[in-house]
């Protein structure tokens, strides 16, 4: 293809949408978008739009854990989200995998021992999809849980990172790229990771790491290391943006109480 990322990147060092390798897409977010729920947020990463509402901690039904709260996720991808219309049912395997990934991420991330025998329900609605589905869901859920007041060590920030390998020379220098869109996800190997801030003067910790692509792991090539390093730095940037949103909303709340 004359216009794909692999063939044009080596000449211009710019991606198809004009970004450089370490630039995020435009991220806008807002919290408390739905006042009737306990926590809510709306996140836009490029052309990916996700709405999230959090209900709980509330009384659990059925299964109960006497020591921790249970986190469950309901992910709904709208039929109009992609360019091609497609209606996904609840039994879609990809949806179920994403739901369990998000549930287990926040089950270990939140301080669930403070709410025994409770249930926290995360409802995610994907309105538009342009790459980074798991990334946007984790970020939106993080913001909604902050809005709901659920204690956690820090905002769980997620990002995707990929690798550009020229097809003619697999030994060439690796070129990592950050925050892939849908077209780039189709042609590049990529992974999704989310990190938790380590606090003052400590490194961030990786909470979520998911990769479905085939990449050489050999240490001499450094492909996986490049993707991980790029992703961790990208997560810092994403967390800074999300923390700005929370701070602005907090200042607005304090202003309205005066």
Partner 1 sequence: MPSLTNSLPFSPAELAYLHTSLSSIPPLRPDARPLSTDFRALRAETGVLPAVNGSAHVGFSDGREAIVGVKLEVEKTVAGNRVTQSEDGAMDIDADGQSRDSGEKRAKGKPEWVSLTLTLPGLRDDDPNLVFLEEMLREPLALSSSTTATSLQDSLIINSRWHWHVYIDVLLISPNGLASYPLPLLSMATHLALRDTRIPKLKSEGEEDPIADDDWMASTYLYQRTTPPGAKPPVTLLIVVVGENIIFDPSREELAAADSVIAVSVGNTSTDGELRLLATRMIDTPARDTMKGVPLSGETQEGVDVPGVWRPRIGGVKRTLLKKVVNTVLAGGIAREVMSGLDGFLSAETSASMG
Binding site for partner 1 (CB under 8 A): 34-37, 47, 49, 51, 53, 55, 74, 76, 78-83, 85, 87, 89-90, 123, 125, 127-128, 130
Nearer to partner 1, 12 or 89 (CB): 89
Both tokens of residue 27?
Answer: 């991220």
> What is the β-pairing status of strands 118-128 and 70-77?
parallel
> What are the Cα distances from residue 162, in Å, to 8, 168, 176, 194?
16, 18, 6, 14
Q: Which is nearer to partner 1, 78 or 206 (CB)?
A: 78
Q: What tokens appear for 78 in the block? A: 């709208």
Our CB check for partner 1 shows the closer of 126 and 191 to be 126
The CB-of-239 to partner 1 minimum distance in angstroms stands at: 25
Which CB sits closer to partner 1, 48 or 195? 48
Distance in Å, CB of 172 to partner 1, minimum: 35
Nearest approach in angstroms of CB 56 to partner 1 is 12
Q: Tokens 């989310």 label which residue?
A: 194
From the list 166, 184, 167, 183, the residue with the least C-alpha distance to 175 is 166
> Least distance from C-beta 46 to partner 1, angstroms?
9
Cβ closest to partner 1, residue 29 vs residue 235: 29
Q: Which is nearer to partner 1, 118 or 123 (CB)?
A: 123
Q: Least distance (Å) from partner 1 to the CB of residue 75? A: 9
Q: CB-wise, 87 or 201, nearer to partner 1?
A: 87
What totals of helices (H) and strands (E) does the chain contain, helices first? 5, 9
Dig out the tokens for 71 from the structure.
């986190």
Cα-to-chain-centroid distance, residue 231: 11
Considering the complex, what minimum distance in angstroms separates the CB of residue 77 from partner 1? 10
| Spatial separation of the C-alpha atoms in residues 257 and 172, rounded to whole Å | 59
- Six-digit token string for 43: 């996140």
Other residues' Cβ atoms within 10 Å of the Cβ of residue 145: 26
Nearest CA to 179 out of 223, 226, 238 is that of 238
- The distance of closest approach from Cβ of residue 33 to partner 1 in the complex, given in angstroms and rounded to an integer, is 9
């Amino acid at each position: 293809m004359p216009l794909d990322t692999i063939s044009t990147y080596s000449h211009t060092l710019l991606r198809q949408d004009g970004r450089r390798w370490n630039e995020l897409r435009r991220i806008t977010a807002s919290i408390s978008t739905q006042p009737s729920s306990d926590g809510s947020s709306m996140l836009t990463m490029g052309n990916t739009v996700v709405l999230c509402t959090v209900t709980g901690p509330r009384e659990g039904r059925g299964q109960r854990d006497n020591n921790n709260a249970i986190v469950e996720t309901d992910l709904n991808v709208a039929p109009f989200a992609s360019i091609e219309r497609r209606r996904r049912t609840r039994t879609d395997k990809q949806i179920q995998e994403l739901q369990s990934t998000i549930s287990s991420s926040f089950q270990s991330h939140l301080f669930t021992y403070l709410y025994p025998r409770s249930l926290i329900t995360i409802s995610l609605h994907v309105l538009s999809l342009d790459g980074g589905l798991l990334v946007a869901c984790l970020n939106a859920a993080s913001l909604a849980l902050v809005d709901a007041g659920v204690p956690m060590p820090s905002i769980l920030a997620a990002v995707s990172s990929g690798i550009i390998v020229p097809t003619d020379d697999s030994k060439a220098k690796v070129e990592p790229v950050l925050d892939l869109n849908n077209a780039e996800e189709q042609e590049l190997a990529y992974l999704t990771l989310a990190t938790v801030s380590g606090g003052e003067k400590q490194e961030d910790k990786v909470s979520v790491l998911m990769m479905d692509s085939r990449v050489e792991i050999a240490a001499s090539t450094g492909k996986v290391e490049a993707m991980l390093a790029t992703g961790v730095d990208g997560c810092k940037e994403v967390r800074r943006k999300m923390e700005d949103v929370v701070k602005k909303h907090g200042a607005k709340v304090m202003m309205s109480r005066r």
